[in-house]
Structure 1
């Protein structure tokens, strides 16, 4: 018998709660779970109130972009009336069992209605019923019996599916060793191994994002194999409000170096458009921006040193932190392939990571009034996301990031950075 489908629910604070639906005995009373097997499951899936699962296949091949856009649209719908009084948490269905949550990743959400009203149930069924096939999310409703045991009922949309009365037991399961269930999918979804993988994503978007073709046209004009010149190339990374802009400008002036940015000006005008898209599209845009910058680096490093304000490490660190639910403990371990520099991307001589304390960042952010990307706003509001980005930066290698404390005065930080550039091995 195939193992039952499993789910990972992200709890406040970054913990992941893993559970299976079904198992030995299958659906029906013969497979009844023990009463109250896990207090956290009871708190999120049982009374008072009512909880629902909505998960859909992540898609494969040409379907992955459409699936990602459907999921983003579903999230937006679940954040509006009549669901505003409900709690919405990330929920990931994963294999190996068949059916909802099995046979691959099925991202989605847990919607908890503290009132447990019929209006929410009715609105959810209308919402899911209006979703076209393929890609319609599976809607499950959780309930507890008189003993406190938890069950899930699948709602059957018009035209077929499981019987409305069928229900399966909900059972806690241990966290799957050794990695977060979504880690194997990272290279396919947000941390692209090479230029072709990122380009393939944007090609799927040209029919509904005209700017995607413009980005592809610019990338196609870049040579596939570019080499760094004889002068030094330094990438400077850091979270928002770590002083990165000030440092890059000061270092560039001190070394008489060219200052480049990723994404470069030739596509930066479309940044807001792609920032509104799902992660797979957004990350493909930023990844291709790195290849455009690499072409500029190759030209400029022939005649002088080059400073790059953000490069591949920034793209990868934000992508990993955003894509993996849970806290920093669920990131891939150091030396995992996802932290390795792409083999076809021009590599800098040195990568410096500016760091400041969370308290210092808050002070610097106050009153800035600058436009923020979605991830930068998340950094300010979500300490767990900030920790994940920081740790992902620290695990990058080939090349790794060399940390620089950016808390002192501007002049002190500048001198420290210049010292690191002149003696990078220290």
Structure 2
């Protein structure tokens, strides 16, 4: 899949040949749906500026009594946000039906590309919010990511640049819509085909609030998109990346050299987890010295040389990279634990916790509930004897992280500026099971924290 990295002259030429968008006439439909060519019974989740989620669907202005009742529903939060002074647009990235991981990877990279382009001129004065599209009746894997773009100036340049941006993408292109109100104040979305697209029919559908589902709509997709339950599912994702990212094949070759279903040796295996700047690396090294243990790190050095490459990829690819790193380090754990205790700086828990917190939009209470299968350790991954989670208060983290000058992942940068994201990562850590995490307060002096960690390890690892 090829993208146009810079719009430049392409947009200028494109703008010369297109006319301003015309709002189409109302299209009558019998039931609430997205336009037929885009799939029926689509529901949407919009993340508001306060991180609350609002749910809606699209409905035609039909004479059916049930449809009329749907049209009567209102949600002030939705209308206040989408009808704020200026203009709001929606972009939804489609996943081709039946395309499996290939379609999800394509959609993820396209969404990633759009986010980058929308941070450039002329969109810099616009604000972006997360949008999800899903169908409750579809199998897992059908949730589509999107963006709500708010242009406070309602500038025609933005409208035309959005069309140019989408035309620059290979089909199937994102779906582009514009929100508007009628004379009575009701909220509508106009969805149109781009010039040169298949068909010319345009749609105008009423935005209708819907009830919040029991689970966040992304939760069913997690095992096939970011929290892979086994090596087989992880490989499926990476195999689709080999033609896009040359280093993906190198990592798969390393995985193939590892023994499968490895077993732990007679010495204990200890994992130390924690957010960035909790003192995790220092504590891990000191504890390894105290126990005469072998120190390991995930991802291991043989693949960490490519970490920056995969950290710049969408979540589905980035998480597959970290997951494969876990299976590679598991092979090293199996060998090392026959010789001495093993101390590991991060392992599966961090891979899963960051993935869950990244994918679940909104407030922390939208995370998968306690005891959900997504928190369970993969059955084919070597399991440690104990996992310790270091925690510090936010103020201490900020003080420790300033001036470090180290490379940070996007997620670690997000931890610094986004309190809600940090809370979601910590909650996800604490909900991990089989094994769960032993929480260790890492606020005291380093020596005290190290001693506390050693005490917890010796209490739970009788072989030491």
TM over 0.5: yes
In structure 1, the partner of 2:384 is 348
Number of the residue aligned with 1:48: 85
Q: Distance in 2 between matches of 1:26 and 1:57?
A: 30
Report what 1:83 is aligned to. Answer: 123
Corresponding residue to 2:319 among 283, 297, 321: 283
Cα offset, 1:147, TM superposition: 1.6
Q: Distance in 2 between matches of 1:388 and 1:97?
A: 28
Task: Tell me, in whole angstroms, the C-alpha distance in 2 between the residues paired with 1:151 and 1:411.
Answer: 61
Q: Deviations over 1:326-371 (max 9, x none)?
A: 1111100010000000000000000000000111111111222221
Q: Please name the residue that 1:154 is paired with.
A: 191
Q: Take 1:201 and 1:11, find their aligned partners in 2: how far apart are those partners?
A: 31
Q: Does 1:125 align with 2:160?
A: no
Aligned position for 1:74? 114
Mapped partners of 1:190, 1:248: distance in 2: 27
Query: Separation in 2 of the partners of 1:293 and 1:266?
Result: 10
Alignment-derived partner of residue 176 in structure 1: 213
Q: Is the aligned partner of 1:422 residue 2:422?
A: no
1:32-82 CA-partner distances (Å, limit 9, x unpaired): 976892221122211411101100224542222122111110111111111
Aligned to 2:256: 220
- The correspondence of residues 95-110 of structure 1 with structure 2, limited to 5 A, is 95-96=135-136, 104-110=142-148
For these two proteins, the number of residue pairs brought into alignment is 418
Contact 2:141–2:221 (Cα < 8 Å) also in 1: no
Task: Label 1:33 to 1:80 Cα distance change in 2 as closer, same or farther (>3 A).
Answer: farther
Paired with 1:358 and 1:204, the residues of 2 have a C-alpha distance of 39
| Contact 2:43 2:55 (8 Å CA) reproduced | yes
Distance verdict in 2 for CA 1:97–1:156, change over 3 Å: farther
Cα root mean square deviation, aligned: 2.2
Q: 2:238·2:320 contact (CA, 8 Å) conserved in 1?
A: yes
Shift of 1:113: 0.6
3-state SS, counterpart of residue 351 of structure 1: strand
TM (norm. structure 1) is 0.94
Matched, 1:378 2:378: no
Q: Do structure 1's residue 294 and structure 2's residue 330 form an aligned pair?
A: yes
Structure 2 vs 1, CA of residues 123 and 97 (structure 1 numbering), >3 Å: closer, same or farther? farther
1: distance between equivalents of 2:364 and 2:419?
A: 10
Distance 2:320 2:457 in 1: 30
CA distance in structure 1 between the partners assigned to 2:345 and 2:226 by the alignment = 21
CA distance in 1, matches of 2:143, 2:343: 39
In structure 2, runs of 5+ residues without a counterpart are 1-29, 34-41
Pair 1:229–1:96, CA change in 2 (3 A) = closer
1:145 maps onto 2:185 in alignment? no
> Which residue of 1 is the match for residue 105 of structure 2?
65
CA distance in 2, matches of 1:226, 1:92: 39
Judging changes above 3 Å, is the alpha-carbon distance between structure 1 residues 31 and 56 closer, same or farther for their aligned structure 2 residues?
Answer: farther
Q: How big is the shift at 1:172?
A: 1.2
Task: Report if aligned partners of 2:57, 2:207 keep a CA contact under 8 Å in 1.
Answer: yes
TM-score (norm 2): 0.86
Give the equivalent residue in structure 1 for 2:37: none
Instruction: Label 1:161 to 1:140 Cα distance change in 2 as closer, same or farther (>3 A).
Output: farther
The separation in 1 between residues aligned to 2:121 and 2:69, in whole angstroms, is 35
Partner-residue secondary structure (3-state), 2:129: strand
Q: Are positions 1:361 and 2:397 aligned together?
A: yes
- Note the 1:6-21 alignment, pairs <5 A: 6-21=43-58
Structure 2 residue matching 1:423: 3-state secondary structure: helix
1:398 shift after superposition: 0.4
* Equivalent-residue separation in structure 1 for 2:378 and 2:186 (angstroms): 49
Q: Could you tell me which runs of 5 or more consecutive residues in structure 1 were left unpaired when the two chains were aligned.
A: none
* 225-234 vs 365-374, which moves further: 365-374
Match for residue 387 of structure 1 among 415, 423, 428:
423
Does 1:264 find its partner at 2:300? yes
Partner secondary structure for residue 460 of structure 2: coil
Alpha-carbon contact 1:19-1:173 (below 8 Å) kept: yes
For 2:15, the equivalent position in structure 1 comes to none
Q: Structure 1 pair 34/64, CA: closer, same or farther in 2 (3 Å)?
A: closer
Q: How many angstroms does 1:23 deviate by?
A: 5.7
